[in-house]
């Protein structure tokens, strides 16, 4: 732990205990406006270790060369900021982000809208995440800075990406390359999807003043008309097609990281005729159409929410930070537990407000998780997936906690397999003992049904050939899914254990 005194303030840069792993790691690519205190980063030993383990040793070496170069070039900070963009930065507290990007809240962005202003949404999402998880064990949030010049394309996977060349990977693909991350959120992509000229609230309608004769050259001011100048809102990128964007993101997750899920907000209507912001009915209809197509099965990798958040003292912001924090807290208690109905510790309120009838329709017809306000508390009414986890359409198959449990289970089994990387002897009892111990603990914590551990799971071991060891596992989870069947195998020609066959 280090203590920095500056401007009569005390800042604690707390480091978590190394032996305790975060229950759910989250990644957030986004905008970090303003200068970066990159020299501070090079002094954080634990962060540097995690970045190097993620495969970014060469980028750190370049930063070290910039720091040690004498005399110091005039463009050192600009070059360093360019290098930082695209490097996953593991944060254990909000003070880490504040130390690295000290002016992120005070610096405006290129894109400005009437609803969201010109403030980046990533800083607020990071602050919300750590504020809500404080006191709930160590957390890890991976922030990946994205250049604003790339606009929406900076958050999307590039077609035909060469995964063998890490320098060509975009921020989204780099987030997928973090093996322990189970959830990804894109707050600033949500911000760029808000149309720049979308009105905020209905303007007050005042009665027309009495008519009177005025010369043509007179300037008339009735003191309440709103005026917009062409230079007031700069030219902004048009929102991308929501369904195409969603399909592109979900497809890449399904291909590269089937254990990961995306948290994203359904955008507002860009073509609305009314003055009050509302959810896009056109996007909802296209979402329902995609769900009924064969390619719509990838939507089970996505949890869609609505609306945004706003308080009297803050501008519009994404709810992904506070929702991700709630998921991280519940995962530590049990990856199979839902976050639905749990109070979200934030002073902001849903915006635009959603009444009960609309919330029910969005949840039941369109499989959205809706932020609602009940008795002064903001809650997520239900965790919903855009499609069923097993190709089913039942309500239980679209539960977000089911998908989070399955993703967590795959990562835990993969980690368990890494402990057994050299154990491929079918006669060696250690792999079976470790698996039985793992699922026995799950049963003891209430994740599996049955009075005895053997009622909640079964293991079948086989050796198809001399170099392969295979376990077929059947689970009876405590939530309303009949059975989960998966396999974990070790092939002598591969470098590790493989988790697959998930149905």
On whether the CB atoms of residues 325 and 185 are closer than 8 A, the answer is no
Q: Using pLDDT thresholds of 50, 70 and 90, give the confidence band for residue 314.
A: low
Q: Are residues 373 and 479 in the same domain?
A: no
pLDDT in tens, 345-401: 778 899 988 888 999 999 888 889 999 988 888 899 888 888 877 666 666 667 888
Q: Are residues 339 and 476 in the same domain?
A: no
Q: What is the pLDDT of residue 317?
A: 92
Q: Of 337, 363, 387, which residue constitutes the final position of a domain?
A: 387
Q: Are residues 357 and 429 in the same domain?
A: no
E runs forming strands in 320-428: 349-351, 369-374, 377-380
Answer whether residue 321 is part of any domain.
yes
- Overall number of domains in the chain: 2
With residue 367 as reference, give the H or E element that holds it. none
What is the arithmetic mean of pLDDT over 168-192?
93
Question: Which of 69, 98, 104, 67 has the alpha carbon at shortest distance from 83?
Answer: 67
* Rg (alpha carbons) of the chain, rounded to whole number: 25
Sole residue written with tokens 């510790």: 345
Report the distance separating Cα 425 and Cα 421, nearest Å. Answer: 11
pLDDT in tens, 98-110: 999 999 999 999 9
Dihedral of the alpha carbons of 99, 28, 319, 292, in degrees to the nearest 10:
180
Lowest mean pLDDT of 71-80, 114-123, 376-385, name the range: 71-80
Lowest mean pLDDT of 40-49, 112-121, 154-163, 473-482, name the range: 473-482
Residue 37 has pLDDT above 60, yes or no: yes
Report the distance separating Cα 448 and Cα 469, nearest Å. Answer: 25
- pTM of the model as a whole: 0.83
Answer whether residue 461 is part of any domain.
yes
Answer whether residue 70 is part of any domain.
yes
Token pair, residue 354, equals 């959603």
Q: Are residues 352 and 465 in the same domain?
A: no
Give 132's Cβ-side CA count (13 Å radius).
Answer: 26
Report the distance separating Cα 117 and Cα 119, nearest Å. Answer: 6
pLDDT in tens, 414-460: 888 777 766 556 677 888 888 889 889 988 988 888 888 888 888 88
Question: Which of 181, 116, 154, 127 has the alpha carbon at shortest distance from 31?
Answer: 154
Token pair, residue 476, equals 């009876």
Q: Using pLDDT thresholds of 50, 70 and 90, give the confidence band for residue 1.
A: very low
User: Can you give the CATH number for the domain in which 430 is found?
Assistant: 3.30.360.90
Answer whether residue 371 is part of any domain.
yes
Show the domain range for 52.
21-197+239-387
Answer whether residue 316 is part of any domain.
yes
Coil/strand/helix, residue 79: helix
Answer whether residue 228 is part of any domain.
no
Coil/strand/helix, residue 11: strand
Dihedral of the alpha carbons of 458, 459, 460, 466, in degrees to the nearest 10:
170
Answer whether residue 218 is part of any domain.
no
Report the distance separating Cα 150 and Cα 213, nearest Å. Answer: 53
Is the model more confident about 250 or about 201?
A: 250
Question: Which of 157, 159, 85, 158 has the alpha carbon at shortest distance from 122?
Answer: 85
Answer whether residue 202 is part of any domain.
no
Question: Which of 134, 129, 32, 124 has the alpha carbon at shortest distance from 310?
Answer: 124
Q: Are residues 383 and 294 in the same domain?
A: yes
The count of other CB atoms within 10 Å of the CB of residue 21 is 13
Token pair, residue 314, equals 């803050």
């Amino acid at each position: 732990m280090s203590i920095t005194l500056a401007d009569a303030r005390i800042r604690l840069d707390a480091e978590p205990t190394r032996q305790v792993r975060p229950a759910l790691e989250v990644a957030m690519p986004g905008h970090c406006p303003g200068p970066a205190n990159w020299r501070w980063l090079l002094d954080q030993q634990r962060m540097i270790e995690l970045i190097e383990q993620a495969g970014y040793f060469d980028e750190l070496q370049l930063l070290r060369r910039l720091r040690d170069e004498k005399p110091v070039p005039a463009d050192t900070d600009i070059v360093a900021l360019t290098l930082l963009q695209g490097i996953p930065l593991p944060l254990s507290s909000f003070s880490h982000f504040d130390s690295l990007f000290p002016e992120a809240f005070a610096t405006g962005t290129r894109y400005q809208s009437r609803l969201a202003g010109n403030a980046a949404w990533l800083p607020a999402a990071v602050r919300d995440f750590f504020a809500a998880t404080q006191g709930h064990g160590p957390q890890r949030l991976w922030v990946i800075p994205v250049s604003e010049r790339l606009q929406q394309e900076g958050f999307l996977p590039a077609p035909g990406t060469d995964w063998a060349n890490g320098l060509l990977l975009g921020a989204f693909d780099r987030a997928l390359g973090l093996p322990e991350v189970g959830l990804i959120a894109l707050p600033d992509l949500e911000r760029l999807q808000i149309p720049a000229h979308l009105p905020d609230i209905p303007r007050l309608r005042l009665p027309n003043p009495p008519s009177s004769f005025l010369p043509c050259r007179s300037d008339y001011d009735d003191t309440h008309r709103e005026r917009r100048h062409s230079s007031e809102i700069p030219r902004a990128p048009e929102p991308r097609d929501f369904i195409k964007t969603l399909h592109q993101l979900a497809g890449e997750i399904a291909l590269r990281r089937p254990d990961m899920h995306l948290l994203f907000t359904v955008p507002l209507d860009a073509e609305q005729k009314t003055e009050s912001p509302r959810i896009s009915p056109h996007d909802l209809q296209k979402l329902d159409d995609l769900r009924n197509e064969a390619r719509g099965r990838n939507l089970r990798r996505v949890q869609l929410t609505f609306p945004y958040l706003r308080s009297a003292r803050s501008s519009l912001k994404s709810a992904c930070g506070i929702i991700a924090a709630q998921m991280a807290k519940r995962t530590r208690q049990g990856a199979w537990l839902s976050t639905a109905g749990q109070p979200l510790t934030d002073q902001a309120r849903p915006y635009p407000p959603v009444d009960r009838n609309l919330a029910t329709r969005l949840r039941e017809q369109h499989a959205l998780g809706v932020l609602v306000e009940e008795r002064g508390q903001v809650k997520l009414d239900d965790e919903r997936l855009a499609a069923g986890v097993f190709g089913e359409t039942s309500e239980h198959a679209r539960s977000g906690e089911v998908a989070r449990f399955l993703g967590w289970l795959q990562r835990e089994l993969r980690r368990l397999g890494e402990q057994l990387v050299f154990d491929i002897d079918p006669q060696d009892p250690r792999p079976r003992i470790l698996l039985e111990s793992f699922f026995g603990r799950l049963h003891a914590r209430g994740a599996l049904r049955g009075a005895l551990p053997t009622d909640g799971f079964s293991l079948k071991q086989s050796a198809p050939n001399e170099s392969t060891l295979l376990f077929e596992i059947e689970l009876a989870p405590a939530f309303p899914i009949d059975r989960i069947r998966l396999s974990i195998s070790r092939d002598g020609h591969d470098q590790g254990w493989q988790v697959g066959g998930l149905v």
